[in-house]
Amino acid sequence: MTTKPVSAPVFSIDALDGLIDEPRRIVVSGLVPDELVAVSARTERAHGVTWMSQATFMADADGVVDLARDAPVGGDYAEVAAMGLIWSQQPVDSTSAELFADDIMQPMATTLTAETAGGVRAEARLFQAFAAPGVERCEIRDDGLVGTLFTPAGPGPHPVVMVLNGSGGGINEPRAALLASRGYQAFALGYFKAPGLSPFITETPLEYLEAGLRWARRELQPKDGFVAVSGQSRGGELALLLGATFPELVSAVIAFVPGAVVHGAQGAGDPARGGWQGTTWTRGGVPLPHLWQDNAAVHWHPWAGEAPPSRHHSVFFEGLKDTKLAARARIPVENIAGPVLLISGRDDRAWPSSLYSRMVASALRKHDHRHLVRHLDFDDAGHAINLPIVPSTQISRLHPVSKVPYTNGGTPSGNSRADTGSWRGMLAFLDEITGAATHQNAHAKS
């Protein structure tokens, strides 16, 4: 009579503590050969909401499962992905789309659990930090500005990146903290839906952003005078607009899923001041022409009346058919006096960021732009290109201002690849144009 082998799963994690952009190697050993084991990941994110994922694996002949080598046989993702248990997480009993910790200076803890069919369990924890040791956080309320400054450890001066959020508003502290962890002084500037500012994007004066750029140059004393502007979605549109409007203040533009034209206030607009078709940006008190300003080609409205279509980005293609208006609303990117990085998703269903990025690159090429222009365009990625190794499952969500449902597009796997690829691509771009070697990129696959 033979004795049935007994398994006792054990976790081995390469780097329990690290920055959020660092992949980890997660291994479960002590299993019986060919044994099935369910591995789950639980993370408490913003507002105490728990996010969870689960995948089942089959042990190899040595009783080992290596997430960097083995694809699940079932579960929340279906490919070899060292950090698949993180990016495939979904919120538990919540519709939350907030991915980050309430306190950005504290690492997020993820509890991993391995359980065999016989009910034998093992647990381990890993920690993902946004702020490296020595990074300092300081709230900025100077000159009417509302933002947060993150300063790297070690002596300066440092190159500076101004970080702008999109149509959700607020202050993008996670991206700024992680940039500071990689050697860049990062100024996350809110321009609406932040303390003391308007709750809407409507009629945002470019002079406010100009004041932010001048403050950064004056107070932060950037290395070699370098101040880049990075923004996402409406913030990407804004980053291009700032580079074109204040070329003497903007050393480089990093535009995530940007617009190539000025748009109306859209879902972040004040219903009392034109709503979707209201003015977004002003200069000298004068509204900038935008794509929804008496557009002759748009025959339907994406967020009015009936439930919005799942691909409401079609309205942007309709809008561009009014070629005279589109030409007036076009951002004159040829005025930008520095390098430009464009990042887009080919399955962006919020608006056509891949097309818009190509329009920007084409305009720069036609005007013999003498600085570096790079376009990273990701397959199977949508509008919500984020930081690396965070959940990428929130394809459809409610707009944070209008509360109307819309679709970002992409797939969880494709979005995750874009998250990682865009972050690494941005760091490589910044290092190249600043001549910096201020951080170590994480090269392992995630």
The whole-number average pLDDT for the span 42-55 is 95
pLDDT of residue 97: 85
Per-residue pLDDT, 301: 60
Note the pTM of the prediction, 2 decimals. Answer: 0.94
- Architecture of domain 136-434 in CATH? 3-Layer(aba) Sandwich (3.40)
User: What is the H or E stretch that residue 281 is in?
Assistant: strand 281-283
Least confident range from 34-38, 58-62, 96-100, 180-184: namely 96-100
> Looking at the predicted structure, is the pLDDT value of residue 446 above 50?
no
pLDDT attached to residue 90: 96
What's residue 183's pLDDT?
97
| In the predicted structure, residue 4 carries a pLDDT above the cut 50 | yes
Cα separations in angstroms, 393 against 50, 96, 408: 14, 12, 10
Average pLDDT over residues 338-349: 97
Question: Which one from 29, 181, 233, 392 is the annotated catalytic residue?
Answer: 233
Per-residue confidence (pLDDT) for residue 192, from 0 to 100: 97
Say if residue 311's pLDDT is above 80: no
Look at residue 308 in the predicted model and tell me its pLDDT.
56
- Report how far apart, in Å, the C-alpha atoms of 289 and of each of 201, 234, 242, 262, 326 are: 15, 15, 15, 7, 9
Predicted confidence (pLDDT) per residue in 82-138, tens digit: 999 999 999 999 888 889 988 999 999 999 999 999 999 999 999 999 999 999 999
Question: What is the spatial distance between Cα 376 and Cα 358, in angstroms, rounded to a whole number?
Answer: 10
Mean pLDDT of 193-219: 98
**CATH number 2.60.40.2240 is the correct assignment for the domain at 10-129:** yes
User: If you average pLDDT over residues 198-227, what whole number do you get?
Assistant: 98
pLDDT over 70 at 42, yes or no? yes
Overall average pLDDT of the 311-336 stretch: 91
CA distance linking residue 421 with residue 415, whole number of Å: 10
pLDDT of 303: 54
The per-residue DSSP string of 264-277 comes to: --GGGS-GGGTGGG
Q: Mean per-residue pLDDT for 156-169? A: 96
Assign 358 a pLDDT band (cuts: 50, 70, 90): very high
Task: Say whether pLDDT at 414 is over 70.
Answer: yes
* Sequence spans of domains, the chain: 10-129, 136-434
Active-site residue among 348, 392, 402, 419?
A: 348
**Sheet of 204-205: strands edge to edge?**
204-205, 281-283, 286-287
Assess whether 233 carries a catalytic annotation: yes
Beta strands, E only, 30-180: 36-44, 50-58, 65-66, 74-75, 90-91, 108-116, 121-129, 136-140, 146-151, 160-164
DSSP 233: T
Judge whether 96 counts as a catalytic residue. no
Mean pLDDT of 177-197: 98
Would the CATH topology of 10-129 be identical to that of 136-434?
no
pLDDT for the residue numbered 443:
37
Q: Which residues pair with 13 in a beta bridge?
A: 26
Q: Which three-class secondary structure state does DSSP give residue 286?
A: strand
Residue 404's pLDDT is what?
Answer: 80
The per-residue pLDDT for range 260-303, each reduced to its tens digit, is 999 999 989 999 999 889 999 999 999 999 999 999 988 656 55
pLDDT at 442: 38
Q: Report the pLDDT value the prediction gives residue 302, as an integer from 0 to 100.
A: 57
Pair of tokens at residue 46:
């913003």
* pLDDT at residue 19 tops 90: yes
Find out whether the peptide bond into 157 is cis, omega within 30 degrees of 0.
Answer: yes
- The percent of residues in the chain predicted with pLDDT above 90, rounded, is 84
pLDDT at 96: 85
Lowest mean pLDDT among 4-8, 143-147, 164-168, 375-379: 4-8
Instruction: Kindly state the DSSP code that residue 192 receives in the 8-state scheme.
Output: S
Higher pLDDT, 317 or 359: 359
Packing angle, helices 234-245 and 206-220, rounded to 10: 70
Residue 221 confidence class, pLDDT cut points 50, 70, 90: very high
263, 290, 313, 383: the catalytic one is 383
Quote the mean pLDDT of the chain: 93
pLDDT surpasses 50 at 441: no
Confidence grade of residue 440 (pLDDT, cut at 50, 70, 90):
very low
The Cα 393–Cα 415 span in angstroms is 8
Clarify whether 383 is annotated catalytic.
Answer: yes
Residue 214 has pLDDT above 50, yes or no: yes
pLDDT of residue 444 exceeding 50, the answer is no
Average pLDDT value for residue range 42-50: 93
